[in-house]
Structure formats: structure tokens, C-alpha cells
Structure 1
Amino acid sequence: MAQFISKKVLGSTLTLVFVLVFNFFLFRVVQPDPVANLFRGRNVPQARLDQMRTDFGLDGSRLTQFWAYLRETLQLNLGFSYQSRQPVWDDIASKIWPTVQLVGLAAILSAAIGIIGGVIAGWRRGSAADYSITSTTMAFYSMPDFWLGMLLLVAFAVVFPWFPVGGMTELGVEHSGVGAILDRLHHLALPCLTLTLAYLGEYAIVTRSSLLDVMGEEYLTLAQAKGLRDIQVRNRHAVPNALLPVVTLAAINFGFVLSGAIAVETLFSWPGLGKATSDAVLGPDLPMLQGLFLVFSAAVIVFNLAADVLYAFLDPRVRPA
């Protein structure tokens, strides 16, 4: 088992190294001269542009810039944002918690509701409950999240003004204690509902398919022959084994939590990493884009590693002989 984990850690480390190198060259191919792009259409003196290139470490050769990039990144120094002129890591760190609140909560809710729906649909295959759950969840899953968000925004913030149109807190009003929590939840409701509905379908369909595969196993027939009730057979024997593929899906989705939901965060003006990505693209803000891409990639790699290790503990069949 230790050898299995070591191989997985080594593979994840090599993947992260590849991402680190790819991250450097990608944005410099897309933007050979980011300072010139930043001030495009403006009458800026050449001396000012040259000074900006020096300040942001863009005046040396590609090789010199690359070694400086590796050295600084290993020290968690991701450079300075072109827009805020603040350290990129500080900007990213200040936006992680809002994204975790929104996307993390939506991931938990969609997983819980989707799994329950998938279990009901799979156990009652061919029933009205199966058709209704599968059709509804897949309908939401097929919708682009920004379009679904716009529908909810128009319905529940414009037509019926029950929720705010955007932001994280009410502007111009200071809340404390329980009032602050309720205000945050009030602003969180619509974007969280959007992402929850958008993610439901994949959990429901994977759970349903996995449960249908498990239902043909002989140990379930044996459990029924022993006189166990259907609900006991389902909860004690079928569901625990059917949830194994869902573990991998959940881990991968939680790996995307830090990447935020660019369209939804931008639509609802939620000040997280997704909106920061949108703002950096519009800038364009090369250091911020590099830092965000690296953080997103690292999160996915770490959660994939956790999924591989957890799956090996849950299912002995994937362990090395």
C-alpha cells in the first residue's frame, strides 16, 4: 500500500511540474508583450513601458524569466498584479474564502441531493419516480450554468424581488452577528442554487448507473434470501458498493472548487476566484492569470491524488497485489 501511494504521489508531483512549466510558456506565447497589450490604444511614453517591463521582470530573455519564475514560485511569490499592483498571492488568498463558501456549499448540496435522487431512481428503475428524477436532473445538467443563473436572477431578483441581484453583502449597511450571517446567506442563495442545480445531474446519473450494476450481483440475492427487507438490502449492501464511483466524481468536483465558477461568479458579482479570473482575462493581467491557473491546477491534482488513495482504501480490488 505504501508503494502504491508513493507511485501516486510521484505521478502527481510530475504532473504539477509539467503544469508549472506549461503555465510559464502558455501565457507568454499568448501574450508576447503583456505590457504593450495592457496599454494598447493609449499614448504611453516608451520609457514608461520599459520601466514597467523591468518592474514586472519582463525585460530579460525567456530563459532568464523562466528561472526567475521557478525560483519565485517555489517561494510562493507569484508576482504583482498589473491591475491592483498588489502581490498576486495576497489577491488570490483574499478571494479563496468567498469561492469556497459558494462553490463548496453548492458541491456538497448537489452531491447529497444528487446521490439520494440517483439511489431512488436506480432502486425504482422504470417507475414514475425514476423518469421524473432522471429527466429533471438531466434537464438542469444540460443547461449552461450562466443561462440557468440568468433565469433565476430574472425570476427571483427582478420579477419577484426576493433576493439581491448580486454582491456578497448589502451595500451601505453594516451587519454584525446573526444579521451578518443572514445577509451573507441572502446573497448566497441564488448563485448557490444555480450551481447546485447545474451539478445535480452528474451525481444522479452516475449513482443510478452504478446502483443498477450492483443490483445484479449475487450477494444481493443472497441477502434477500436471508429474509432482509428491501430497504435493508439497499442501505446495507447495495448503496455502499454503488457509491464507490461517486467517490471519484466527488473528489474531482471538489478539486474544481477553488477554480470557482467563472460565469456564475461574474453574473452575480460574487468576489471569488472565478470573477477574479474573468477580470484578469479582461485586463489582461498576466501574473494574476498565471497564479490562478497554477492554484486551480494544483487543487485538481491534489484532490485527484486524494481520490486515488481513498478509492484504494474503500475498494481492495484496485490495490496492488
Structure 2
Amino acid sequence: MQYALSKAGGALFSIAMVLVGTFFVFRLLPGDPVRNLAQGRNMTPDQLDLERRRLGLDKPLIDQFLNFVSDTLRLDLGTSYEYKRPVIDLIGERIGPTLLLTGTGLVIAVSLGIWQGTRAGWRHGSRFDRVSTGVSLLLWSVPTFWLGLLLMMVFGVGIGPIPSLFPFRGIESVDAPDGFGYLLDVASHMVLPCLTLVAVVYAQYLMVMRSSLLEEVSQDYVTVARAKGLRDDEVRRRHAVPNALLPTVTLVFMRIGFVVGGAVTVEYIYTWPGLGQLFYRAIEVPDFTLMQGTFMLITVSVIVMNTLADVVYHLLDPRVRSA
């Protein structure tokens, strides 16, 4: 309990620092939000000043900061400059598609990475180990936007004899059917963005699981289990893998925190209506209140998940408790 409380205290301090950094860092971005919002409207200087007062940007920076802290503590994230709507409502509309896409991608990436990492580490030096490790590292090193555009051109638009196989814009078709047909339509729209997410992420879990298992294979308890006559599959499943999974816990929990924020690059490429695309648009304006709200949600989620990972790791590993 004392360990959990100390971690919770550290998390609260981190959130407080994020609160301060979020406000001041975004105001260092170039661009005037009022002038950007007034593009094409031929507003006079007096009208621009009136709009600036309406948004509260005419106040001293310290007053703006105190208002931001007060509103945030009351769970009031403000009103978006561009959309003229409460930020909390915009987040509520976009978080569903983001959780659907990034959550599905996380489950597939973790499952695939742990499965391949287990077999690659257990068969160290085999052809499976070399091929799976090489392919995963190659995909991991490829820029996300480049891979997304490549998959879009090959499987979305179609090249030469390859027909267009999957839709690549939005989350649903304009003429999407109802019922089960609608679920299939959304699933078909998820294929390419989800494949892009998985391809650039699963290598992390593969490499961590592989290196952890390689370390466990050399331990005495594995040698003793083999000396008792246990089959290799039993030694791997009942002894080596459970211990090798422990370092992966932190990585998985941290990635769960990022699930809330979505994937800005992937959502932008495939025009997926999630928080990532919303955050990108907020930076483009710049829309300070929308940036602050979405960024706070992402960072707090990561801090909370990282804290939970420390607590879970403390419960699972006796060596951490004894230390």
C-alpha cells in the first residue's frame, strides 16, 4: 500500500508539471490564432481586437494561466476557438473511433509481438528468428507516414493489376448499410490504418520479449526443469515465458496510455475521425484550448498507465518487493 501511495504521489506531481508545461509550451508555437481564424473574412483591426478579447487572449499571460488551472481542476477544458464548442464535447465525439482503431491495433501488435518474440527467443539463431527479427526491425524503421501512403496506394487506390481492395478514407461509407453490414463496412475501413499501426509497433514487443526470453533461458531453473525430464514446450510455457513477460508489462501499459491519444500520423493519412486528427487540426490553427485539452488527456493517460504498470510489476515480481 505504501508503495502504491508513493507512486500515486509521484503521478500527481507529474500531472501538475504537465499542467504547467502544457499551457506555456503551446504558446511558444508560431502563429496568431485570431488572425488564422479570420482568414478570408476581411476583419478590421477593431474586430480582431474584439475577437481576441472574446477568447481571453488580451489578458496577461499569468491571468490566462490561472484561469486555465482553475478551469482544468473543475474539468472544464474550455471552448474550441475554431469549432466554437466545448473541448470536452469534441473529445467525447472523437474518442470512440480512436479507441476502436488504436485499441484493435494494440491487441494485434501485442499478441503478434509476444508470439513471435517467444518463438524467436526460444529458437535463437534459427531461420525463424532471423526472418521475424529482420522483418520487424525493417518495418519499425520505416516512417509511419511513408508506410501508410504505400499501403494506401497498393491496396487502397490499386496499382497496375492490383485492384482496389480496401477503402482508405474515413470510418464508414456514405451509403453504409445498417446492422451487420455496417459493422463489416467499418471493419473494411479499419484494415489499412490498423495494418499500418501494427506494422510499425509490434517490433517493440517482439524485441523485448525475445531479449527477455534469451535471458531466462540461461537461468538455472530452466536447466533444472529440463533435467527433470520436462518437454521443451512445457519448460517454455510454464517456466520461461511467465518470467520473460514481466519486462513487457511496463511497455504494454504505457502503450495503453497512448491508445487514448490515437495515432496522429495514421489518422491524418486515412482521415480517421479520431483524437489524433483533431489534435493535428488544433496545432494547425493553432487552437490553444483544443491543444491543451487533448494533450492533457493523452499525457494524463500515459502517466496513470505508467503508474499502474509500476504497481502491477511490484505485485508480480517478488524481487521488486524485496528490493
Verify same fold: TM over 0.5: yes
Q: Distance in 1 between matches of 2:164 and 2:121?
A: 38
Q: Which residue of 2 aligns with 1:137?
A: 136
Q: Distance in 2 between matches of 1:77 and 1:57?
A: 15
Q: Distance in 2 between matches of 1:260 and 1:179?
A: 26
Q: Which residue of 1 aligns with 2:258?
A: 256
Aligned counterparts, 1:49-198, within 5 A: 49-159=48-158, 160-171=163-174, 173-198=175-200
Residue 318 of structure 2, aligned match among 308, 316, 319: 316
Asked if the contact 2:268–2:276 (Cα under 8 Å) also holds between the matched residues in 1, the reply is yes
Deviation by residue 1:251-303 (Cα, 9 ceiling, x = unmatched): 11111111211111010010001111111122221111111111111111011
CA RMSD after TM alignment: 1.5
Q: How far does residue 187 in structure 1 lie from its aligned partner after superposition?
A: 0.4
Q: How far does residue 40 in structure 1 lie from its aligned partner after superposition?
A: 6.0
SS of 1:227's partner is coil
Asked if the contact 2:267–2:276 (Cα under 8 Å) also holds between the matched residues in 1, the reply is yes
Asked if the contact 1:4–1:319 (Cα under 8 Å) also holds between the matched residues in 2, the reply is no
Q: Quick one: which amino acid aligns to residue 139 of structure 1? A: L
Relative distance call for 1:311 and 1:169 in structure 2 (3 A) is same
| TM-score, normalization by structure 1 | 0.96
Residue 280 of structure 1, aligned match among 282, 290, 306: 282
Q: Distance in 2 between matches of 1:320 and 1:242?
A: 19
Report percent identity of matched pairs. Answer: 44
Q: How far does residue 34 in structure 1 lie from its aligned partner after superposition?
A: 3.1
Q: Which runs of 5+ in 1 are unaligned?
A: none
SS of 1:163's partner is coil
Q: Which runs of 5+ in 2 are unaligned?
A: none
Q: How far does residue 78 in structure 1 lie from its aligned partner after superposition?
A: 1.1
Q: How far does residue 36 in structure 1 lie from its aligned partner after superposition?
A: 3.5
Q: How far does residue 194 in structure 1 lie from its aligned partner after superposition?
A: 0.8
Q: Quick one: which amino acid aligns to residue 286 of structure 1? A: F
Q: Quick one: which amino acid aligns to residue 169 of structure 1? A: E
Q: How far does residue 37 in structure 1 lie from its aligned partner after superposition?
A: 4.5
Q: Distance in 2 between matches of 1:41 and 1:100?
A: 35
Q: How far does residue 148 in structure 1 lie from its aligned partner after superposition?
A: 1.0
Q: Distance in 2 between matches of 1:88 and 1:188?
A: 26
Q: Distance in 2 between matches of 1:318 and 1:49?
A: 59
Q: Quick one: which amino acid aligns to residue 166 of structure 1? A: R
Q: Which residue of 1 aligns with 2:223?
A: 221
Relative distance call for 1:260 and 1:197 in structure 2 (3 A) is same
Q: How far does residue 54 in structure 1 lie from its aligned partner after superposition?
A: 2.3
Asked if the contact 2:31–2:286 (Cα under 8 Å) also holds between the matched residues in 1, the reply is no
Q: How far does residue 250 in structure 1 lie from its aligned partner after superposition?
A: 0.7
Q: Distance in 2 between matches of 1:43 and 1:63?
A: 31
SS of 2:28's partner is helix
Q: Distance in 2 between matches of 1:215 and 1:320?
A: 23
Q: Distance in 2 between matches of 1:119 and 1:302?
A: 28
Q: Distance in 2 between matches of 1:37 and 1:27?
A: 16
Bigger shift: residues 302-311 or 20-29: 20-29
Relative distance call for 1:199 and 1:228 in structure 2 (3 A) is same
Deviation by residue 1:170-189 (Cα, 9 ceiling, x = unmatched): 01x14221111111101011
How many residues of Structure 1 are paired with residues of Structure 2 in the alignment? 319
Residue 236 of structure 1, aligned match among 238, 251, 266: 238
Q: Distance in 2 between matches of 1:278 and 1:198?
A: 20
Q: Distance in 2 between matches of 1:17 and 1:28?
A: 18
Deviation by residue 1:108-140 (Cα, 9 ceiling, x = unmatched): 100000100000100001111111111111111
Q: Distance in 2 between matches of 1:53 and 1:77?
A: 20
Q: Which residue of 2 aligns with 1:8?
A: 7
Q: Distance in 1 between matches of 2:27 and 2:283?
A: 14
SS of 1:30's partner is coil
Asked if the contact 1:79–1:87 (Cα under 8 Å) also holds between the matched residues in 2, the reply is yes
